[in-house]
């Protein structure tokens, strides 16, 4: 019984599915913040957590750089940086969205 062959996997490294999912989440999150206007300011805690989450996704993107196709990596990186670029305006700093409007009453 001790002479049985053991199977080892030749693939060691990050899962490509997780890398693709991370890149797609960054791109969709960017498109959502670009296309959908914000209608209210979030709490300070939500603002900080959103910014921390976005930064964590950008850092994680570099961990999956070898398994993500190069064009998708660069598009996701630009989308991640764009999420922080939205925060350069006064309203964008709080909402993270490109446009801020008040709902009609």
* pLDDT exceeds 90 at position 16: no
Mean pLDDT of 5-19: 74
Segment 40-63 shows an average pLDDT of 94
Lowest mean per-residue pLDDT among 18-27, 29-38, 64-73, 89-98: 89-98
Domain residue spans of the chain: 16-35+42-95
| Long-range contact set of residues 49-58: C-beta below 8 Å, sequence gap at least 24 | 50/96, 51/84, 51/87, 51/96, 54/29, 54/80, 54/83, 54/84, 54/96, 57/22, 57/25, 57/26, 57/29, 58/26
Residue 91 clears pLDDT 70, i.e. is over it: yes
Phi, psi of 38 (to 5 degrees): -80, 145
CB of 25 within 8 A of CB of 58?
no
pTM above 0.95? no
């Amino acid at each position: 019984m001790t002479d049985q062959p053991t199977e080892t996997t030749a693939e060691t490294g990050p899962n490509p599915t997780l890398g693709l999912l991370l890149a797609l989440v960054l791109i969709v999150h960017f498109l959502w913040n670009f296309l959908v206007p914000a209608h209210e300011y979030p709490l300070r805690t939500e603002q900080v957590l959103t910014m921390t989450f976005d930064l964590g996704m950008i850092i994680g993107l570099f961990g999956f750089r070898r398994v993500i196709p190069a064009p998708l990596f660069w598009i996701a990186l630009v989308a991640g940086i764009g999420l922080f670029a939205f925060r350069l305006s006064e309203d964008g700093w709080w909402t993270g969205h490109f446009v801020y409007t008040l709902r009609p009453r």
